[in-house]
Amino acid sequence: MGKRSVSVKVNTPKVSKYTVKGDTLAEVRKNLDRREEWGLYDATQNFKSGGKVDSEGQVTSVTIELNPVIELPTWAGYSKATKPQKASWDAMLKKLSAHEYKHHDIQVAGAAALKKAIESAKELDADALNALIEQAQTDTQKAQDSYDRSSGHGAKEGVELDEDA
């Protein structure tokens, strides 16, 4: 078999915002806590993939492109907040953003491992390729979950609001 063409790309995340309401940081925190997570990293949407096989059914090219999304909050009452409240919000948002970008780093590492596995496979038919992709998805999700557990979904990294600000 000749050289296999492999392109596995993870694009820079697109950042989207959702609005959270509250006149005080306590109210804001209560509204944030109604969500499963304050921030979100998702690389499963809008991905593109393709491949080609030769006459023997061996994969000759693979193209995978991930277009991740990071969702972060915006505070509707920010403009009316006091200077200390804004400082608390800004600090939390900066830490939350850093936490979500760490998820991106984990995804990039998972994609690099997948690319290496595809490139190094001696024989690779469609079933074997799908098995590699499924294993990479499982391994990357385990790494994402482990990171969230160890960081307390960012709480241990300072993703918090000082409600007394």
The Cα–Cα gap between 107 and 43 comes to 8
How much of the chain is in helix, strand and coil states, percent to nearest 5?
50, 25, 30
Query: What tens digit of pLDDT does each residue of 71-93 get?
Result: 999 999 999 999 999 999 999 99
pTM for the whole thing?
Answer: 0.94
- Quote the pLDDT of residue 123: 92
What three-state secondary structure class fits 65? strand
- Quote the pLDDT of residue 92: 98
- Quote the pLDDT of residue 36: 93
Q: Are 162 and 99 in contact (CB under 8 A)?
A: no
Residue 129 makes CB contacts below 8 A (sequence gap 6+) with 51, 59, 62, 118
The mean predicted confidence, pLDDT, of the chain is 96
- Quote the pLDDT of residue 2: 58
Tell me the mean pLDDT in the region 131-159: 96
